[in-house]
Amino acid sequence: MLRQEKEKIIEELTENLSRSTIVITTDFRGLPAKEMVQLRQKLREAGVEYRVAKNTLTRFAAEKAGRKHLESLLTGPLALVFGYDDVVKPAQALRDHIRSSGSMLKITGGILGDRLLLAEDIVALASIPSREVLIAQILGQLQAPLQGVYNVLRAPLQGLSNVLQARVRCLEGG
């Protein structure tokens, strides 16, 4: 590989590392090419980028991007998963692919902001509901007390209304 090509790859990796909110490292040894294509497509649909890069080039990019703690994960042939928005989506997309295809792909770790994540942390992150689901749950929990207050305040008026309607029916019928 020419020096200019390496510099270009380092710049691209530096940009990806700088922009990403989460980076997950995977060991792709034993993964057939057909499955690699399926994985890339599934990750692309989730808004995630999957890239195979040499460890030395990744190490230089990590230093430039200020993510030196990524260096401890750079052993053996690795591919990097870059998540730019939701930190849960990349982990869930990887987990879903591994489960559905029985893949040999292994999650080896990652970084979230300035924090180093182990493979177990990534698996735990994948079990968290998506951002939209969490927002809906929080709104539901905020709405429940208000609904309770509404029902408590409405009960006496509803009771009075029922008594008056019963009295009207008695007067009309009798």
Average pLDDT score, the chain: 89
B/e letters for 76-113, b = 16+ CB within 10 Å, e = fewer, are eebbbbbbeebbbbbbbbbbebbeeeebebbbbbbbbe
pLDDT digits (tens, 9 = 90+) for 64-109: 998 888 888 898 889 999 998 888 889 999 999 989 888 888 999 9
Residue 116 β-bridge partners: 111
Helix (H) or strand (E) holding 106: strand 106-112
pLDDT digits (tens, 9 = 90+) for 42-75: 899 888 999 998 999 999 999 999 888 888 889 8
What's the pTM?
0.74
Neighbours of 50 (CB within 10 A): 21
Confidence bin at 174 (pLDDT 50/70/90): low
- Domain 3-128 CATH assignment equals 3.40.50.10680: no
Nearest to 114 by CA among 167, 77, 65, 46: 65
Enumerate the domain spans of the chain: 3-128, 130-174
